[in-house]
Chain A
Amino acid sequence: MSMHPMLSSLRHHKLTVFLLILQVALTCAVVCNVVFLVVDRIQQIALPSGLDEPMLSIIESQSIDKKQNQLARHDADLAALRAIPGVKMAVAADSLPFGDQESSYGTCATLEQLEQAAKLRSMQTNGCVQPAAYAGTPGELNTLGIHLVAGRDFRDDEYVDDDKVPAAILSAELAQKLFPAGNALGNTIYTGERKPIRVVGIVQTLVRPRLYAFGTNQLTMLFPSKSADSYIFYVLRSAPADRQRVLKAAAAKLMQLDPDRILPPEQMQTFEDLRRAYFQRDRTMVGLLVASCAGLLFVTALGISGLANFWVQQRRRQIGVRRAIGATRSEILRHFLLENFVIVSAGILVGVVLAVVLNLLLMKQYEVPRLPWFYLPAGALVLWSLGQLAVLAPAMRASAVPPVVATRSA
């Protein structure tokens, strides 16, 4: 079939065709970028913490009597919590992934690097980073279900009650960053205390309490340090089905042991709730992005099929003539499908350029990453299918125009 009759008919509707191309281009540009943003957010939301999340529940205790011996208080609390039926393990921790409260330490692989960084007042020098440190009571690794890939857990005699720790367990990414040669295990690191800290273990994955920027989220370490703070998180490990019951029992038990404390109800939750709350804004955003994407595609489809409908009605007589001089139904159908394909293709061509420009703008303004190239052909494919689907019904109606129409006057 020759393209000629179709192209010449399009030339009669220059302005309308131009508008249709513009609309497809805008849709293509926006949809490519929005889908990319959605995928980016979903990856954030699904970021693995490195913890055995479905088994964990958290309860925060804020002691009111600041003069109390907090270490003894935590020990007594933990003993009581471990006695609750269903609680398999329990530890006290100063911070948790997605818990928002973070202690971070400027950390270097050697003392010389640390001195140099201190002199420059910057931890962004060679060999130094600012990882988050998790302090917790013995058994934290097992209770949280963090996967050790090398080395060992802390020994009981390594635990201290301040941050002058003799040993640390690093995340694989932190170990790689501090010791690019891969010899982290058994080596020493230095923090502001300027005392050597031996690396006794390496864990696969462990995220920060607060996510900042890509590339720093896994810079974490564990310290064998019992927190003497009056604010403490108790982490309980139980079967997933037991979590709510265990939480309720734990709250009752803690208040019974020492009523002079506050258990904030919003900090008494399963780890899954904690994660959900942390990513609340991102989930709102994903919802909005998906809705607007669907709206855009819907409106574009409406526009395409609306226009096609008009054209079919307008050209009923011409269609009748073409049918009368021998065009088959499928030829008429193909005419309209092909016409749509040509218009949408032109729109996609412009749209791809617009998409890249839009992405560059977003990168500059909102720290959005670069759009991977495969989003462009994927977006094109979606718009082609959308266009063909939208034009299908009008095209079918056109192919149903009987040749006899040609003999009637308009």
Chain B
Amino acid sequence: MFGYYLDLAWRSLRRTPVMTALMVLAIGLGIGASMTMLTVLHVMSDDPLPDRSAHLFVPHLDPRPANFTQNLYAPDASANFTYPDAMALVSSRQAVRQAAMAGGTLLARRSGTGHTPFYADGRFTTPDFFAMFDLSFLSGSAWSQADEDARARVVVLSESLSREVFGTADSVGRIAHLNDADLRVVGVTRDWQPNPMFYADADAKEFSDADRFFLPLSTSLDLKFNTNGNQSSWAGSIEHNSPTLTWLQVWVQLDTASEVTAYRRYLADYAGQQKKLGRYERSADSAHLYSLMEWLAIERKVPSDIHLQVWLALAFLAVCITNIVALLLAKFLRRGGEISVRRAMGARRRDIFIQLATESAVIGFAGGVLGLILAQLGLWSVRHRPDDYAHLASMDGPMLAFTFALALGASLLAGLLPAWRACRITPALQLKTQ
């Protein structure tokens, strides 16, 4: 029966080629525009670490004075940690794993002479960083807690930086010159670029930056390396270990719900204790624990422009669908005669309805193909923009399937009302007036 309906649909569509083309074009444009923007939104708000994100949490403490007024032009001072708070959380070992970190840019020199030096971005952090975020080592390993405590002159390089500096991916044991320091390479990791760079300070370019080296936080402080990102102080002191200067990020790994509950309690206790000591002015309720995805939503890593574009594309799709509903309605009602003949010859309303819905689906399918082509064109043009997220803009399997589902769903939805209206035509009246 379906084959017969398909044949009927094909005949009917061929009878009005211009109208059919218009409908396919309208749905193609709508699908193309909305899928381009939905894909960009999808890749930008995607889980940066699908295997790990459920276990990763970011604690939040608020050491700011009670009467602190947030400067309109400045970033949120409580988004980062002070050195004493970060160290207290990391050394308490209340989570499965925990690490404090800050970004840094160091001058690297290629081995050999006569090369111009260059700047590389990296992270100053504590040893749990690697296991917690699941970085994979090509050779060597992370530094130990003993190295961290001893402020050892060690570094972990990414594969690409190792190649750039030493010409090989296996540089373990060699000495890297970063800024004016000599650091022994203890490990080389596979290049790692989660999108967005969720663990970085809000100042980073989250969709294009990548860390190319990692070294102990204690060592970086010992060597007085500058850190990137926001540093907010509310009492004048800008010493790195000041209790009134926030600049560090802290992440923890918690595997079970009870661990999460316990850690929440620990954070509240910590904040309460600091208040009792007179260091914090805000209550223990100011301590929070966010999951990775919650944190991304709070930090709004997806630019608001993208949201605006998605809404615009969906409005566009809505207009296209309204357009198709009107055109299909006119088309189906014009065929009152034909429908009446079929009804008079024994077709049930349901048959008419399915036949007309099939016709809508054929248009939807063609529109989906066109929309897919247009979306690929749209994404291609997005990829050629210099914006930092541009390189991410491409469709994966599920998005591809979703495009077709959206196109078919939209056109079936569009065909629903006209088909329903058309199958209610009274055959006798129609046949009489013919």
Question: Which residues of A line the B interface, CB within 8 A?
Answer: 13, 15-16, 19-20, 22-23, 26-27, 30, 34, 37, 64, 104, 120-124, 130, 212-213, 216, 262, 277, 280-281, 284-285, 288-289, 292, 295-296, 298-300, 302-303, 306-307, 309-311, 313-314, 362, 365-366, 410
Contacts and interface: CB of A to CB of B under 8 A. Distances in A.
Contact of B309 (A288, A302, A365): A288
B330 to A, nearest CB: 4
Given A104-B73, A121-B65, A295-B316, A314 B334 contact: yes
Interface residues of B, number: 50
Contact of A262 (B119, B326, B387): B119
A64 B178 CA distance: 12
B107 A64 contact: yes
Interface stretch (B22-30, B46-54, B361-369): B22-30
A115 to B, nearest CB: 15
Q: Which of B117, B318, B319, B331 has the most chain A CB atoms closer than 10 A to its own CB? A: B319
A33 to B, nearest CB: 9
A23 B71 contact: no
5 contacts: A16-B333, A123-B71, A262-B107, A302-B26, A310-B327
A22 B329 contact: no
B312 interface: yes
B91 interface: no
Contacts of A313: 334
Contacts of A262: 107, 116-119
Interface in B298-333: 303-305, 307-309, 312-313, 315-316, 318-320, 322-323, 325-327, 329-331, 333
A302 B421 CA distance: 23
Contacts of B72: 124, 130, 212-213, 216
A16 B333 CA distance: 10
Nearest to B19: A306
A27 B319 CA distance: 7
Contacts of B319: 23, 26-27, 30, 296, 299-300
A130 B71 contact: yes
A408 B322 CA distance: 36
A117 to B, nearest CB: 10
B258 interface: no
B10 interface: no
Given A120-B67, A124-B69, A306-B19, A22 B117 contact: no
Contacts of B417: 15
A104 B73 CA distance: 10
A295 B27 CA distance: 12
Contacts of B323: 23, 299-300, 302-303
Nearest to B417: A15
Contacts of A311: 330
B2 interface: no
B386 interface: yes
Contacts of A292: 33, 312-313, 316
- If over half of A's interface residues share one DSSP class (helix, strand or loop), that class is named, otherwise mixed; here it is helix
B309 to A, nearest CB: 6
Contacts of B118: 262
5 closest Cβ pairs, A-B complex: A303-B323, A122-B69, A19-B326, A310-B330, A23-B322
Contacts of B92: none
A307 B326 contact: yes
A16 B329 contact: yes
Contact of A299 (B29, B71, B386): B29
B4 interface: no
B276 interface: no
A95 to B, nearest CB: 14
Contact of A306 (B22, B116, B320, B322): B22
Given A302-B25, A366-B304, A309 B19 contact: yes
Contacts of B304: 365-366
Interface in B376-419: 385-387, 417
A121 B69 contact: yes
Interface string B113-149: 0001111000000000000000000000000000000
A306 B327 contact: yes
A301 to B, nearest CB: 10
Nearest to A280: B386
Nearest to A117: B69
A299 B30 contact: yes
A285 B37 CA distance: 12
Interface in B268-314: 303-305, 307-309, 312-313
B69 A120 contact: yes
A172 B86 CA distance: 45
Given A22-B322, A26-B318, A121-B65, A366 B387 contact: no
A129 to B, nearest CB: 10
Contacts of A216: 72-73
Nearest to B116: A262
Interface string B57-73: 00000000101110111
A34 B312 contact: yes
B403 to A, nearest CB: 17
B383 to A, nearest CB: 12
A313 B334 CA distance: 10
Given A30-B319, A124-B69, A124-B71, 17 more contacts: A19-B325, A19-B329, A22-B322, A26-B322, A120-B67, A121-B69, A262-B116, A281-B387, A299-B29, A299-B320, A302-B26, A303-B323, A306-B327, A310-B330, A365-B304, A365-B307, A366-B308
A15 B416 CA distance: 13
Contacts of A365: 304, 307
Contacts of A22: 322
